[in-house]
Every structure is written in C-alpha cells, then in structure tokens.
C-alpha cells in the first residue's frame, strides 16, 4: 500500500426513518472495525431523526472514534439538514469527537467537509494550509509557509493529528514526518516524492507577505454594493461606472 493510499468508502442506509433509536444505532455497526487507515463517508442526508435517536447515533460514533473502536478510521458525515448539522457540531465540539461534516458524498464536497469537533482557529487555519499544500505537510514546509518557528508548526500539526483530523506517517528524521489530510481526493494529491522539489501552491505569494488564497473559491459570499452589482450583472445590466 502506498503511503498516500487512504481507502474511502461511502456507507448508505436504505432506511429513511431513523427516529427509532435502535434503527439509528444499527448504522454504526456497518462501519469497519479495523486498525487500517481509511475514510468512511456516512450518508445521513434525507434521514429523519428524533433528538434522542440522533444523539444516540452521534454519541456511539463519536465515542467509537475516540475510543479506537474503528481503528484508524476517519469519519465524514454527510448531512443536508442545517439543524442536524448544528446538532452534530455541538456534540462533537462538546466532547471533542473527530468528525467531519460534508454536504454530499461527492469527493469534491468531501474535500471541503468541515471539521466540527473542537479545533482552535489556528488549527483550522493549519488544516486549510495543509489542503492548499496538496493534502500533506511536513513541519518544515508548514513552518516556512506560515512563517512559524518549527516548534510552533510541529505543535499545530501534532495537536490536530491527536485530535483525529490528520494522519501522521513516521519518516526518517531528515525527511520529517508526513501529515496527511484524509479528505483529500486521491487525484488531487501531489505525492510528496514528486513534489519535493516542486514549487508549492501559494509559496510565491506567502513569501511576499500576500496571504490571499486565490483558489479556495467554492462559495463566495457577497453583500452590500458588491452583491447589488453582481445581481445587476446577472440580469445583464451594463456597468454605469466609467
């Protein structure tokens, strides 16, 4: 198995009504109880829960992840209902469970899945940078990109890994351990071996003090004048500014 192989499987349940606690709990039995690394994408979109059944399922999943029941598995929950999403996030944050939440099972949406369980702002920023780097980072390249001391970069990566949101692969001291974001699509992954001498995304900008990320543009929110002008453009109205 190559270093970057992270088998991903989507789990779906035919039962739409999961308001019964026992039915809801049955879902978690589908997940593999294995020590191998991998990503389980559990599709809960369109399912009906009661607060009790949802709490039972998320509690079982969260405790299982934290307790190592699923080995080194990373979990992405697919949820379309905002209230369910918020409930999951509240529980994950409260108990520190390593859960990602995505809006669909599409690999691109999984790549954008939100880590909901108790990461600090700095840790969230670090995860974004790891993704921007191509799904992996070492202490050395993260420190260079974020202009951090090596010890600070190490602390960030190690803390995120301990919280269950990154994989860590031990390598010889000279190469440095590799931290991998499990959400990354296989085809989006720039292999570390091939990328060792290659330029890093945003390297040129960051080294010039420019923090803008021109590529994270899956959702752009506009307000005030920009929103008004964008709507005019969509209606085909020409600019009055000259």
Binding to another protein in span 115-134, by CB under 8 A: 134
Output the six-digit token pair for 121.
Answer: 């702002």
> In the bound complex, what is the minimum distance in angstroms from residue 223's beta carbon to another protein?
5
Nearer to another protein by C-beta: 169 or 215?
A: 215
Per-position DSSP letters for 69-125, written without gaps between them: TTTTEEEEEE---HHHHHHHHHHHHHHT--EEEESSSSHHHHHT-EE-SS--HHHHH
Give the contact letters, 166-195, x = binds to another protein (CB under 8 A), - = no.
---------------------xxxx----x
> In the bound complex, what is the minimum distance in angstroms from residue 214's beta carbon to another protein?
4
Q: How far is CA 100 from CA 1, 12, 46, 77, in A?
A: 25, 16, 18, 6
Give the C-alpha separation, 219 to 215, whole Å: 11
- For 87, list phi and psi in degrees, rounded to 5: -65, -45
Output the six-digit token pair for 101.
Answer: 């939440």
> In the bound complex, what is the minimum distance in angstroms from residue 78's beta carbon to another protein?
18
Does residue 239 interact with another protein by CB under 8 A? yes
By the 8 A CB rule, do 57 and 18 touch? Answer: yes
> In the bound complex, what is the minimum distance in angstroms from residue 187's beta carbon to another protein?
6
Q: How far is CA 82 from CA 41, 94, 219, in A?
A: 18, 18, 17
> In the bound complex, what is the minimum distance in angstroms from residue 235's beta carbon to another protein?
9
Does residue 231 interact with another protein by CB under 8 A? yes
Does residue 67 interact with another protein by CB under 8 A? no
Binding to another protein in span 130-159, by CB under 8 A: 134
Nearest to 6 by CA among 186, 168, 133: 186
Nearer to another protein by C-beta: 25 or 205?
A: 205
Does residue 204 interact with another protein by CB under 8 A? yes
> Which residue ranges make up the site for another protein (CB under 8 A)?
108, 134, 187-190, 195, 198-205, 207-208, 210-212, 214-215, 217-223, 225-227, 229-231, 233-234, 236, 239
């Amino acid at each position: 198995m190559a270093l970057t192989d992270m088998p991903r499987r989507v789990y779906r349940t035919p039962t739409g009504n999961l308001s019964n606690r026992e039915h809801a709990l049955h879902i978690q039995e589908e997940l593999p109880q294995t020590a191998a690394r991998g990503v389980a994408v559990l599709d809960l979109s369109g399912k009906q829960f009661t607060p009790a059944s949802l709490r039972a399922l998320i509690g079982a999943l969260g405790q299982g992840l934290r307790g190592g029941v699923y080995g080194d598995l990373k979990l992405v929950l697919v949820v379309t209902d905002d209230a369910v999403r918020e409930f999951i996030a509240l529980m994950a944050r409260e108990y520190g469970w390593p859960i990602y939440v995505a809006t669909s099972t599409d690999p691109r949406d999984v790549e954008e899945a939100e880590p909901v369980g108790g990461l600090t702002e700095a840790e969230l920023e670090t995860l974004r940078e790891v993704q921007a780097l191509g799904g992996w980072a070492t202490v050395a390249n993260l420190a260079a990109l974020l202009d951090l001391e090596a010890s600070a970069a190490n602390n960030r990566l190690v803390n995120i890994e301990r919280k269950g949101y990154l994989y860590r692969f031990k390598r010889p001291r000279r190469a440095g351990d590799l931290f991998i974001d499990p959400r990354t699509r296989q085809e989006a992954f720039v292999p570390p071996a091939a990328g060792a001498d290659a330029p890093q995304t945003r390297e040129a900008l960051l080294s010039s003090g420019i923090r803008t990320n021109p590529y994270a543009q899956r959702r752009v929110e506009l307000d005030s004048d920009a929103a008004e002008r964008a709507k005019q453009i969509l209606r085909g109205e020409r600019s009055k500014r000259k």
